[in-house]
Structure 1
């Protein structure tokens, strides 16, 4: 009866609102958007578990008239496919095409031109049209919100896994620049300490974003027949056990290399201007390489875990 907000567990600025069902006497389309405070939402997802009704399209027209985006979703595809499988003539592609065409035809009849319908199952998120829906939303969001949407999505398809990797790669230069600033201060050990802190925090973000942290893995186990230990056995990165200075050092080859680099950075940072630039540059390159290697390894671990979870669902 009231709009209910669900903040994303990891990205607090991302909020999903569950709005009251439209079509009842209390929620007519022409009054609905005012009642649910239309201005606060970036876009709307109109969900139906059977045919789209006139009230759904009336709402879509009101949203369109007020200049925001909306998406039609036909849900419970797993139930429909399981029912259709009992027929001898079952063909999954033809069944999905028929459902999609039927929805689109119904929407055209009540005034929606060129409707696009996304077929989705909550229990089989990697199947059907969820990836296409994500791509459409990402493409139509303002630039500054696209990255947040991508990182907030669950890691449920290989396409999303790869896009997350690319989104995180874009941040490596910023993180390495912060390290370079620390390297310009001539205090023994400061650059090394800063690098470890910066790299550790960024790697923790990678694990959380790819759904490889403890909480996310536990939720994945609840959806599959595998245990946390089975998923962890697929993770080959030396960082997958625990993130600490010794496990991070593998990223640059050996502890001696870091110690040597730290000593050189300190020495050159004592030289006015030129030394500061050299020290900063060395730190930038080192941290960039460390994070790139860590991201490659963690993304590969995420891919392996994803493939194992998909095989379990199948």
Structure 2
């Protein structure tokens, strides 16, 4: 259970809210929504670099939840298509900016000047990509990034292509082959003077396999909390753990939305939250269609495993109406423990009860989306596993 001190963890922010509440409950609610907007717009700048043909652009698209032939995807091809730092915003989270940088080997700049050229200071971290072994220029760049006290990670791309070729050999063992490739990359980097290099083996076309999840977990652990949340929400659903982590972030925001009940109709709040959860869990119609197309499955098969398919407007609206029909009396019983929390920042009486009721209703809505996201992802895994 949240306590008053945990509702808005930062004491300074707590005082800002209290000060606004002293003027009016409406100003207090507006201040809370201002804080939520700040959270949702935390900028995250990711730099992707590597040699020509290493798979940078495809990796950029994978991070954005796009395939190479989607509209607004980063252009790909056998020749260097990136001549300067090119910005690609996340289609659902414009605060997350992914920069496709020209390969250092395609410029006339040494590593130090290269970083100045691409304005290194604006990036939160660098990902250095290679589809074979990491080369001298990659190592020089890593050393320079390290000197400037920025984080960097090595990604060995197109691992699925390597495994496809190795499968033709007698005695093929996937686990042993993956381990051999990883060790070869690490040893090569260590021989160039890099201590304990972090190397992740990925397939941008199959992000649910190999080290894509491990890369996400590593970034999550090493980013500041506010940047971590921005990354996690923008990450594609590549495992069940991601769904759980997205849920935690959304749960942390419910208190802000609940306070909004002072100045907005509850129906409007729930509709806004619904759109946010659709985007975060990839359950909007466009995302579901893309997912179905990417694995060769009819959209109806994904909708069939959902309890609350959004395409079935009548069914979903019935659930939505049921949530709104929760009476103030039953809400007060269900969320009575929350009353003292909203009262602690100045909401009293029926206003506090309205906030608590909204808090409870949004929690129910979130549980619905999480349940369907898990069902859809499990269906996808089962379908992919059944392929010959």
Unaligned runs of 5+ in 1: 183-192, 263-272
CA contact (8 A) 2:284 2:310 kept: no
Deviation larger for 121-130 or 225-234? 225-234
Unaligned runs of 5+ in 2: 1-82, 333-342
Q: Compute the displacement of 1:278 (Å).
A: 2.2
SS in 2 for 1:16: strand
1:17 aligns with 2:99: yes
CA distance in 1, matches of 2:135, 2:111: 12
Q: Compute the displacement of 1:239 (Å).
A: 5.8
CA distance in 2, matches of 1:107, 1:260: 62
CA contact (8 A) 1:121 1:127 kept: yes
1:29 aligns with 2:99: no
Match of 2:20 in 1: none
1:257 to 306, 327, 342: 327
Question: 1:106-149 CA deviation, whole Å, 9 max, x = no partner?
Answer: 00000100111001001110011111111111222222211111
CA contact (8 A) 1:21 1:27 kept: no
Q: Compute the displacement of 1:256 (Å).
A: 7.1
CA contact (8 A) 2:285 2:310 kept: no
CA contact (8 A) 2:237 2:282 kept: yes
2:306 to 235, 241, 263: 235
SS in 2 for 1:223: helix
1:296 aligns with 2:367: yes
CA contact (8 A) 2:87 2:99 kept: yes
Match of 1:2 in 2: 84
CA distance in 2, matches of 1:197, 1:288: 14
Size of the aligned set, in residue pairs, is: 289
CA contact (8 A) 1:238 1:247 kept: no
**CA RMSD across the alignment:** 2.3
What is the TM-score when the length of structure 1 is the normalising length? 0.86
What is the TM-score when the length of structure 2 is the normalising length? 0.70
1:154 to 211, 229, 236: 236
Match of 2:11 in 1: none
2:293 to 210, 217, 222: 222
Find the structure with the greater CA-based Rg: 1
